[in-house]
Structure formats: structure tokens, C-alpha cells
Amino acid sequence: MGSSRAPGGGRIDRGRPRRFRFDGTELEGFAGDTLASALLANGVDVVSTSPILGRPRGVLTTGPEEPAAIVEVTAPTVDVVAPATMLELVDGLEARPRAGTGRLPPASTPARRGEHRYAHCDVLVVGAGAAGLAAADAARRDAARVMLVEQHPWLGGSTVASASSEAAAAADATAERLAADDGIAILSRATALGVYDAGFVVVHERARPAERLWHVRAGRVVLATGASERPIPFADNDRPGVMLASAAATYVRRFGVRPGARAVVFTTNDSGFESAYVLAASGVDVAAIVDVRRGGRGRQLPPPSGAELLPGWTVTETRGDPRLRAVAVAGGASDRVIEADLLAVSGGWDPVVNLHRMIGGGLRYDDATACFVPDGSGPAWLDVVGRAAGAGLAPSAPYWYVPAEDLSRHFVDLQRDATVADIVEALGHGFRSVEHVKRSTYIGTALDQGRTSGAIAAEVVNDALGWQRGAQGPTSARPPFAPVPYSVIAGSARGRLFDPVRTTPIHAWHTASGAVFEAVGQWLRPRYFPRGDEDMEAAVRRECLAVRRDVGVMDASTLGKIEVVGPDAPAFLDRMYTNAMSTLGVGRVRYGLLCGLDGMVVDDGVAMRLAPDRYLVTTTTGGAAAVLDRFEEWLQTEWPELRVYCTSVTEQWSTVAVAGPRARDVLVALATDVDPSPAAFPFMHVRDGVVAGIPARIARISFSGELAFELNVSAWQGLALWEAALAAGAPLGIAPYGTEAMHVLRAEKGYPIVGQDTDGTVTPFDLGMGRIVNEAKGDFIGRRSLRRPDAARADRRHLVALLPLDPRARLPEGAQVASEPSGDPPVRMIGHVTSSYDSPVLERAFALGLIERGRDLIGRTVFARLDGGAVPVTVADPVLYDPEARRRDG
Amino acid sequence: VLLVPCPWCGPRAEIEFRYGGEAHLDYPDDPQGLTDEEWAAFLFMRTNAKGDAAERWFHAAGCRRWFNAVRNTTSHEFIAAYRIGERAPRAGA
């Protein structure tokens, strides 16, 4: 391992050394190096072992297309798989060869930090090579806002590796001018991951300390993504020391590294000669140029002095241990072996068209350059320029691999260890499409997405099938263009910031009281309030019994609340709900169901009539936004003539539900100017009054079957009312209860929860709520569908209760139900369990379920089929507790 | 990620909108008078046009207005956007 750093040259900063470790060895490079160039400079031949065959691999390229030098980074930030060609050398960098297909870091590994940025510009240029710099420069002359993104830390692209120094000098001059221009934003170390509709481009910027995901909306997008050199498969073409010719020239020019002492160049086109000049000029002994082209066909350039030209010859094999020592060539009368430690290969060039194709741009096969180039199609706002468009590519012989008897060491995709023989085998299985061959061989499915292998694979397939060149092109391109960490995609939307958390005005009390919360949509609701060392079962049991025997209090502020106001509000609600709301008297409350046009239940709630032209309707906690949207949709699109305004007031009101036989006593103790007696304040009525000195809207509605008052007050007063209710109710044994007890209490009464006991396939009749479907009032959403033959089927599933014969056998929610206890699969299921609890008052486990012809099966035994066997259950009417509703008046 | 031309707010990012399916499917005057086949055609059958199609959009996280737009379903290009009650500027599919 000797140093191969040239004494001078390159664009590294020799005054700023960088210390790093590779595979445990302390090494040194310079600022401006990549890990790949620093390893080459230190004479490290083997950078990685191949994932499946364990073959030693070196460095093939200088960019994200790298399929060989794949490493695992352990410091300063962890990266499980990364191409060494894209890792900027920093002090303290630690890496090692990737193990197999890679290994996950421990869960304790800190994620790479990411943040999202948003930008708008007139022109976005992707790629800062000669074409990209020129495009950005031209756009600035139109005084436009320009963004230029470049995946490498430097600008200039491949100009640095040109044989003549003019291209690099011109690029440097343009880059310098643009860097001083305030009207252009230049992002380096930034990869455009995908191009989407209407000029939307997502860019991953590898910035520090946090990486950035840019969402850019551009009026025009210019793709100047350049071209990528193709390797050529021959026997042992994956040996360390085999490198793309342009990469070899780039290591010389950019990094001041001689990637070998004695080189053979193997080429199909004149660009291989250009790279040979660069190598020769840096002191590399170029022994021979092996050119597959015979005679002078297409060839314009002479070999560098001292190099032998072998026209019409090919490289058949490499030898070494493991680094390249000799190249076997064939072509003349006899085969030859040429000693060399560098084999620079150019199989032609492929425009980098991934982004162009993602947004629908098409390709055409170009015979002269033997590659696919953009065909001019694609969105009007997109331009492809420079070598990405096929401009300035060297004409190339159409040459895809070196023929041989044994093709099993002709590597096509180095990251997948896939060879020409693997493609031939896939064709033998009958595959014809390159998309199928890709999925059979895995060629093009690794990190580089087939950047160096896709075009070769396609032409090997075309050739083997006897189809013309270009009959099938490369496989589909999809975002992301290069790997991006999930942590960067997540950005700051992690943990507590993943989704907004909504809490009620009483939340602080719940937290202080040790409530256990559950998420209901974005809301955080108390699930139960454990006392002492109670577990959930004990707490829920105690809370349920408090409501059934004394009194409980629940924070119901999360219920969706919509004010529906206007002279046509009654008619509008009649069209939305299955029952009539126009006939509701002022001061009255009515339960209602909302159906979709298909007649299926989508939400429920109550409507309170506050005035002739004013209703307050409630929705499920999770359905509030959808119900408001539904109201708006019908008002705006079908009935704009209706004079109705809908306003969400969910967060303006705080709702405290007081439920239980002693609820009236609590109300009296709170001091109210409303007469709470059953005669003065009947069930399903609403009154405005004052409670505990707070203006309140009081509704007598019950979700537990017990006497209950719902106290609605201004959100600002919610906590005060809650604390007052607890204080006033203390002598009466009041207990706060959470959503779990609420669920048990409502299920004992057979009240369904929309979204739990329904799933979008359930009609009001299926729920046993035909009584609130009012056909006489006129049309309403879903009415016609309820008369479709399917809705009238006799074998529909009905909501019923399910009582396990063993009263302790609580069924899992979701359990499937069959009519027989056993039988060979497939067993026909007649329904499933939707809700399941232990009932303290019934002193047994019970469930609700949707069962085929369920109401006709009441009293019969069916079977919940579980992994452990069948649990016999009796079908029952869903109202298990107080079916005569004697308790609701207290 | 479309740029949706809200006729009230101008071009805004797709994330602010809800898609509302095919436009100009008027709710029948008398659903009860329709046969099952006629009702099913209204409820379920859609043109699913390839090319220019008139669609409903809802600016849910903006002005909260419904509007109609003609969009090419192949190129995703918006050809026109217009308010509820207005006719499609160019015949939709």
C-alpha cells in the first residue's frame, strides 16, 4: 500500500489535512477529498466486498452511480450504506467496508437531523456542470430568480477531467460570477430527488448540522444532469483496479491521485482517448488502448505517445490478487497479456435522464452514440440541456459485453453481483421484458438504481432475443434519484411534533390527576382516572359503577359542534339527516344519523334547536371536520340557493357531562337558575341558564342511559365548571370517568359508535335505527339508496349483542363469528365482533357485533372462532341494560 | 404535487385541496322517481376520461370554496378553473 498522491495538482487543499479511519486504520487525506479519493491516495485497493459473492471491490466511479465502493459509516454520523465516492472527507470520519447487504445500526443510534425548507423560483437548474452553469447564467440575464442545485460540493461537473483545460477554466469563471450574484441561490451537496407536476422538485441538501429537504416550486426546470459512462462486462471486470476511464481522469485532475502506475484503456469511443491523455500527462504509463472499433471507423484521435493502439481488440479477462496485475486481450492472431495495475474502461455514455423520465419525458435510441437520449417530449416547463440531452456525446460503437463461453464472471450490476449469465438465465426462464429481467436478476435495484448497469442489461436482452438495438430501453425511473434518510424526510415531524395534539380546556386537570390518555383523532382524551394502584380494569369498573349508582362527570368537550344558522337551516338539516329536524321545537334536542349518498351511516350526533333559524349540531369527536365539509359541499355545489351558514364551534365550547342517578343533585348543589325537575326539564330538552355563576347551555341528553345533563360553557370557563362540579358532587360520591367507562356504559345500552360498530357498509336499518329514518319528510341524502335491492337484502348484517355462554369469556374485538363451532376451512363467517367489554352491572363479559340476519337469530347460539377454538355466544337484543329506559329521568 | 388554480385564491399547492371527483353530475330532482339502474348510474358510474376532464375541487385549507376545473388527466395540466354555477370554458370530457 503505497501512496499514489501526485506531488502536485488537483483541487484538494494540501494545507488542510484531514484524519480519518477506514476499517480500523488511521489514514490521512485533504480537504476537498472524498473518502474514495483519499482511499485511492493511500493505496487502499479493496474498499468493499460484494454483498452476495464476497468478491473484493475497489472504486469504479466518482459519483452517486458508484456500484462497488460501498461502505458503512460509523462516525461522525451513522450511515448504513453509502458510496465512498459521495462521502466528503472530514476530520474524524470513520468507515468500514459494508458487511454483506449491510446491517442495521442499534436502535439507540441518533437519527440524522433533518429539516424541511420551501422555496419558489422562476428557474431551477439541476446540475452545475458546463451546461448547468450556462443555463443558470442565461436565466439570470433574463433577471429571473434562479436556483442552481449541484450534488457535489464543487461546481463545474466533468469539465475538470477534460483533456483540454479550457472547459474547466470557462466553468470556473461562470461559477465565480454566479457565486457573487445575489439573484441566484446555489445549493451544493444537494441532490434533486424527484421532479413532479407543475415544476415541483424535491431536493436533498446534505447540510450541517441538519440536512435539508427542499420543496421547490419552479416556473421552469432545466435538467443539466450530464451523462454517465458505461462499463463493459468481461471476465472479472469487477476487480479492484478496473475503473471507468472518465473516473480515472477525474481522480487525477480533481484529487491529484494517480489511480495506477501502468494503465490499459479499453474503449468503444473517443472519450477513452481523452481520458488516456489525462492519465499520460499525469505520469501514468499508458501501455495500450484497446479499442473495439476496427480500423479507423469513427475514430478521430491518436493514442498518447508511447501507448500501443489495438484496434478491433477486446479485453477478455483480468488477473490480479486481488488488485489488477495484468489484462488479457484478444483480437489479433494470438491473445496477449499486458501487465497493468489500472484498466480504464469506457463503454460509451448514457445521458442521466432519470428526472426527465419521472415526469413523463420520453426517450429515443440514438444510433451514433449508442444510447437513449431525451426525445423532446415532456412537460412544457421542463428543458433538458447539455450532455443530459445527448449533446456533445462521443460517437460510440454499439458494444455491450465481451462475448465468451462463460459469462458468469461478466458483472453487470456489481451491487447485486449479477452477471450477463444471470440475464441469459432469466431469458431462459421465458422473461422478455427488461422490467421482468430486472426483477428476476435484481439488476438495477440497488442504491445506484442501475446507473451503470441498466442500459447494458437492456441491450444484452435485446441482443439475445435477436431484437434491434434500442428495442427496449432502460427500466422505469422513480424517485428518489439517490438514497435519502427517512429522518430527513420526517424532518421535524417527529415525536410530539408528528401531528398536532388537541387538548381540551380541562386537560391540565386531567394531567394533574394522573389520567391515562388515549388519542381520538388528534384529540387526547382521558381514558380512565386510576386511583392508588388501580389497573385499567379496576378503574373502569369503579367509574362505571359510580355512574350507574351515584354520579360521574366526563369531559365531553371534544365532541364536534357546528352551528347551522339561517332561514333555510331547518330545510337543509332535513336533507342531511335521516330524520326530520325542521319539526324539532325550539328548546328541543333530537338524535340524528348522517348517511352517505350510498345510504351507509357516516356520522351521528344530536341537533339542538336554539331558535327557529339556529341549530347546534354535534358530531363524533373524529368526524367533526368531515361533517362540516359535507355540509359545505352540499350547500355550495347543489343547493347554493339555501340561506344557511355553518360555523365550527367545537373549540368555543367546553362540555361537561354529569351522569348518574344523582346528577340532578349535583346540578342543584352547583346552584342553577334552571329548574332541573323532570317535569320542568324533560329528557331531550335544552335550556340556557347559569350554573355555578357561569352562563351555560344545559342539555338533557344521555349516552349512558342514566339521568344526565350536558353543561356547555365558554371554553374559558370549562375548567372552572369542571372543578365546581367535582366540589359540589363530592358529598354525592361524584367520580370523573373517561372514555373507556363511557364505552362500556353506552355499549350496555346498545348505542353504536360510528366508526367502531360501523364500517361504511352499515345502514340505519342494519343498526336497528329504522325508527329514525323519516321517509315522510321528503328527500334526504342516502334515502334513495336505502331502497336499492342490496340495502333491502334479508341477509344483511344487524347490530346485536353477543353474550358468551361463559360470562368471563371476553371476546377480542374483530373476532369472526360463524354459525358452527367447527368445520374444515374455509369456514363461512356470518359476522364479527365490533365492541367487547366487561360489564360491572351485568356482571359478565358482553359484546356488540354485526351478524348476518342477527335480529332473526336472537336467542340462538353462534360461535366466535378464535385461535384457541370456538367460543359459544348467545345472540341478544343490543339493549342489555334498562331496556325500558326507566333510569333516564333519575 | 399539482399547482391547483383556485378561482378565488390563485394557484396554490395541491396539499391545500381536496379532490371531489367528476364535475357536472347534478343531484337528481327526484331520486325516488329513478329506477334502480338510473340511480346506480348516478351513484357509481363515472366517465374516467383520459384527457381533458371536468373535476370538482375543494380548497379545504384555504378559502374553503368548492369550484370546478378542467384538467388533462394524462399531462395533469390544468386547462381552466371556474366557479360553481359557471359553465366549463372548454367542453369537458
The tens digit of pLDDT for each residue in A54-87 reads 999 999 999 999 999 999 999 998 898 999 999 9
- Chain A's closest residue to B76, CA to CA, is A197
Nearest CB to B27; choose among A200, A360, A638: A638
Q: Chain B interface, mutation test: which of A562, A636, A781, most B Cβ atoms within 10 Å?
A: A636
**C-alpha cell of A38?**
483519499
Q: Taking the mean position of all CA atoms in its chain, how far away is CA A464? A: 39
Residues of chain A contacting B18 with CB distance shorter than 8 Å: 629
Cα A577 to Cα A36, A192, A600, A766: the distances in Å are 68, 50, 12, 17
At B90, the pLDDT band (50, 70, 90 cuts) reads low
Contact residues on chain B for A788, CB-CB shorter than 8 A: 36, 39-40
Interchain CB contact of B41 with A (< 8 Å): no
Q: How far apart are the CA of B80 and the nearest CA of chain A, in angstroms?
A: 15
Judged against a pLDDT cut of 80, whether residue A409 lies above it is answered with yes
Name the minimum distance, in Å, from the CA of A578 to any CA of chain B.
Answer: 15
Backbone angles phi, psi at A849, to 5 degrees: -155, 160
Residues in contact with A630: Cβ distance below 8 Å, sequence separation at least 6, in sequence order: A576, A594, A602
Among the listed residues A823, A820, A813, the one whose alpha carbon sits nearest the alpha carbon of residue A850? A813
pLDDT for A345 equals 98
Q: Is B61 on the interface with A (CB under 8 A)?
A: no
CB proximity B9 to A under 8 Å: no
Using a CB-CB distance cutoff of 8 angstroms, which residues of chain A are in contact with residue B39? 784-785, 788
Q: Give every CB contact of residue A507 below 8 A, 6+ residues apart in sequence.
A: A524
pLDDT, tens digit (0-9, with 9 covering 90-100), for A333-358: 789 999 999 999 999 999 999 999 99
CA distance B83 to chain A (A): 10
Residue B91 has pLDDT above 60, yes or no: no
A582 touches A571 (CB < 8 A): yes
Rg (Cα) of chain A, in Å, rounded?
37
A110 falls in which pLDDT band (50, 70, 90)? confident
Residue in A379, A640, A783 closest to B31 by CB: A783
Distance from CA of A491 to the nearest CA of B (A): 17
Given A636, A785, A789, which is nearest B66 (Cβ)?
A636
Q: pLDDT of A741-792, one tens digit each? A: 999 999 999 999 999 999 999 999 999 999 999 989 999 999 999 999 999 8
Chain A residues with CB inside 8 Å of B2's CB?
Answer: 197-198
Q: What is the rounded average pLDDT of the residues B51-80?
A: 95
Residue range A184-214, pLDDT digits in tens? 999 999 999 999 999 999 999 998 889 999 9
Residue A54 CA to its chain's centroid (Å): 33
Whose CA is closest to A833, among A855, A822, A817, A844?
Answer: A817
Among the partner-chain residues B1, B36, B84, the one whose CB lies closest to the CB of A637 is B84
Hey, are the CB atoms on A197 and B27 less than 8 Å from each other? no
Q: Contact at 8 Å (CB) between A161 and A10? A: no
On chain A, the residues whose CB falls within 8 A of the CB of B75 are 360, 379
Q: What is the mean pLDDT of residues B63-68?
A: 97
Quickly count: other Cβ atoms within 10 Å of residue A759's Cβ: 14
Residues of A whose CB is below 8 A from B73: none
The residues, ordered by sequence, that sit 6+ positions from A88 with a Cβ below 8 Å of its Cβ are A33, A34, A153, A189
The three-class DSSP label of residue A141 is helix
The answer to whether the Cβ–Cβ distance between B3 and A789 falls below 8 Å is: no
> In this predicted model, what pLDDT tens digit does every residue of A687-732 receive, in sequence order?
999 999 999 999 999 999 999 999 999 999 999 999 999 999 999 9
Reported as a pLDDT band with limits 50, 70 and 90, residue A99 is confident
Average of pLDDT values for A276-295? 95
DSSP A786: G
Q: How far is CA A753 from each of CA A527, A543, A623, A749, A770, rounded to the nearest angstrom?
A: 16, 20, 11, 12, 17
Mean pLDDT computed over A636-656: 97
pLDDT at A1 over 70: no
Share of chain A above pLDDT 90, in %: 92
Euclidean distance between CA atoms B81 and B73, whole angstroms: 15
Mean pLDDT of chain A: 95
Write out the residues of chain A at the interface with chain B, using a CB-CB cutoff of 8 A.
Answer: 196-200, 217, 360, 379, 597-598, 629, 632-633, 636-638, 640, 779, 783-785, 787-789
Q: Which residue of A has its CA nearest to B13?
A: A217
> How far does B52 lie from chain A, in Å, by closest CA?
16
- Is it the case that residue A330 has pLDDT exceeding 50? yes
The number of C-alpha atoms within 13 Å of A756 and in the hemisphere containing its C-beta is 17
Contacts with A779 from chain B: Cβ below 8 Å: 30-32
pLDDT in the model for residue B93: 41
DSSP-assigned letter for residue A279: H
Q: Measured between alpha carbons, how far is A432 from A463 in angstroms, rounded to an integer?
A: 11
Suggest the residue from B12, B27, B71 to mutate for an interface test with chain A (most A CBs closer than 10 A).
B27
Q: Provide, as residue numbers in chain A, all residues whose Cβ is less than 8 Å from the Cβ of B50.
A: none
What would the mean pLDDT of A824-839 be, rounded to a whole number? 94
Which residue of A217, A632, A788 is in closest CB contact with B64?
A: A632
Beta carbons of B32 and A779 less than 8 Å apart: yes
In DSSP terms, A220 is beta-bridged to A123
Contacts of B21 in chain A (CB under 8 A): none
The residue among A353, A382, A363, A358 whose CA lies nearest residue A479 is A358
Q: What share of chain A has pLDDT > 70, as a percent?
A: 99
Q: Which member of A197, A379, A633 has the closest CB to residue B1? A: A197
Half-sphere exposure of B38 (CA within 13 A, CB side): 10
Q: Band the pLDDT of A298: cuts 50, 70, 90.
A: low
With an 8 Å Cβ cutoff, is B45 touching chain A?
no
Give the 3-state secondary structure of residue A813.
Answer: coil
Residue B89 has pLDDT above 90, yes or no: no
Chain B CB contacts of A636 under 8 Å are 65-66, 84
Count of pairs with CB atoms under 8 A, one residue in A, one in B:
56
pLDDT of residue A143: 80
Cell (9 digits) for A856: 332473526
Q: How far is A635 from chain B (nearest CA, A)?
A: 10
State pLDDT tens for residues B1-59: 899 999 999 999 999 999 999 999 999 999 999 999 999 999 999 999 999 999 999 99
Nearest CB partner across the interface for B58, out of A199, A217, A633: A633
| Min distance B66 CA to chain A CA atoms (Å) | 7
Query: Which of A77-81, A489-493, A866-870 is modeled with the greatest confidence?
Result: A489-493
How many Cβ atoms sit within 10 Å of the Cβ of residue B91? Answer: 9
Q: What is the mean pLDDT of residues A237-254?
A: 98
- The 10s digit of each residue's pLDDT in A610-624 is 999 999 999 999 999
Distances (CA, A) of A57 to A33, A67, A322, A413, A844: 20, 9, 9, 12, 68
| Cβ(A382)–Cβ(A196) below 8 Å | no
Pairing mode of beta strands A342-346, A242-244: parallel
With contacts defined as CB-CB under 8 Å, which chain A residues touch B86? none
E strand or H helix at B42, and its extent? helix B36-44
> Which residue of A637, A790, A793 to mutate against B (max B Cβ within 10 Å)?
A637
Note whether B39 contacts A: Cβ–Cβ < 8 A. yes
Residue A4's alpha-carbon distances to A31, A83, A256, A283, A315, in angstroms, are 17, 21, 9, 11, 25
Contacts of A637 in chain B (CB under 8 A): 20, 56, 66, 84
Least Cα distance to A234 among A109, A404, A71, A60 occurs for A404
Average pLDDT score over residue span A821-828: 86
Which residue of B lies nearest to A379 if distances are taken between CA atoms? B75
What mean pLDDT is predicted for residues A290-301?
Answer: 80
User: Please, what is the angle between helix A245-255 and helix A271-281, to 10°?
Assistant: 40
Query: Cα(first)–Cα(last) distance of chain A, in Å?
Result: 92
